[in-house]
Chains A and B, each alone.
Chain A
Amino acid sequence: MRLLGRLELAAAACLLWANAAAADTIVKWLHIEQDPSQVKVWEEVARAYEASHPGVKVEMQYLENEAYKAKLPTILQSKDRPNIIYSWAGGVLKAQIEADVLEDITDQVKGYSDSLTPAALAAFTSNGRIYGLPTAVSQVGFLCNKELMAKAKVDPAGIKSWDDLLAAVKTLKAAGVTPIVVGGADKWPLHFYWTYLAVRIGGKPAFDAALRGENGGFAGETFQKSGELFKQLVDLQPFQNGFLGFKNPQAVGYFADGNAAMTLAISTVYQSQRALAADKVGLSEEKMCWFDFPVVAGGKGAPSDTLGGITGWLITKNSPKEAVDFLKYFISKDVQTRLAAGNFIIPVVQGADAGFKSSFMKRIAANLAKSNYHQNFYDQSLGPSVGRVVNDVTAEIAGGSMSPKDAAQAIEAAWKQGN
Chain B
Amino acid sequence: MARRIASSPTIGVAETSFSPLVVRGPSWDGRFTVLVLFLPPALLLFTLFVVLPIGEAGWYSAFNWNGFGRPTNWIGFDNYRFVFQTRAFWLALRNNGMIIVVSLAIQLPLALSLALMLAERFRGAVALRMLFFMPYILAEIATGLIFSFVYDGDYGLVASIWRTFGAEPPHLLASTDTAMLAVLIVIVWKYFGFHMMLFIAALQSLDKSLIEAARIDGATRSQTLRHVIIPLLYPTIRLSVFFAIIGSLQLFDLVMPLTRGGPADSSNTLVSFLYNNGISRMRVGYGSAIGVILFVICVTFAFTYKRWFMRDE
Contact partner of B171 (CB less than 8 A), chosen from A96, A101, A245, A388, is: A245
Is B173 part of the contact surface with A, judged by Cβ < 8 Å?
Answer: yes
A95 close to B176 (CB less than 8 A): no
Max chain A CB contacts within 10 Å: which of B66, B173, B176?
B66
- Residues of B near A184 (CB, < 8 A) are 174, 263
Q: Would A244 and B175 be within 8 Å (CB), given that A73-B282, A385-B281, A401-B264 are in contact?
A: yes
- Residues of B near A399 (CB, < 8 A) are 176, 263-264
B280 close to A384 (CB less than 8 A): yes
Is A269 part of the contact surface with B, judged by Cβ < 8 Å?
Answer: no
How many Å from the CB of B75 to the closest CB on chain A?
10
Contact partner of A396 (CB less than 8 A), chosen from B171, B264, B276, B283, is: B264
Q: Would A185 and B259 be within 8 Å (CB), given that A95-B66, A100-B69, A399-B264 are in contact?
A: yes
- Residues of B near A246 (CB, < 8 A) are 174
- Chain A, 226-248, CB within 8 A of any chain B CB: 241-246
- Chain B, 257-273, CB within 8 A of any chain A CB: 259-260, 262-265
- Residues of A near B67 (CB, < 8 A) are 73-74
B263 close to A385 (CB less than 8 A): no
B263 close to A388 (CB less than 8 A): no
Is B144 part of the contact surface with A, judged by Cβ < 8 Å?
Answer: no
- Residues of A near B173 (CB, < 8 A) are 185, 242, 245
A73 close to B66 (CB less than 8 A): yes
CA distance A244 to B173 in the complex (A): 8
Q: Would A244 and B280 be within 8 Å (CB), given that A95-B68, A98-B68, A399-B176 are in contact?
A: no
Is A157 part of the contact surface with B, judged by Cβ < 8 Å?
Answer: no
- Residues of A near B282 (CB, < 8 A) are 69, 73, 92, 95, 383-385
Is B9 part of the contact surface with A, judged by Cβ < 8 Å?
Answer: no
- Residues of B near A100 (CB, < 8 A) are 69
- Residues of B near A73 (CB, < 8 A) are 66-68, 282, 284
- Chain A, 360-402, CB within 8 A of any chain B CB: 383-385, 388, 392, 395-396, 399, 401-402
0 or 1 for each of B131-174: is its CB under 8 Å from A? (1 = yes): 00000000000000000000001100000000000000011111
CA distance A184 to B173 in the complex (A): 11
28 inter-chain pairs at a CB distance below 8 angstroms, sorted by A residue, are: A66-B280, A70-B279, A70-B280, A73-B67, A73-B68, A73-B284, A76-B68, A77-B68, A98-B68, A242-B153, A242-B171, A242-B174, A244-B174, A244-B263, A245-B173, A245-B174, A245-B263, A384-B66, A385-B66, A385-B281, A388-B280, A399-B176, A399-B263, A401-B264, A402-B264, A417-B64, A418-B64, A418-B283
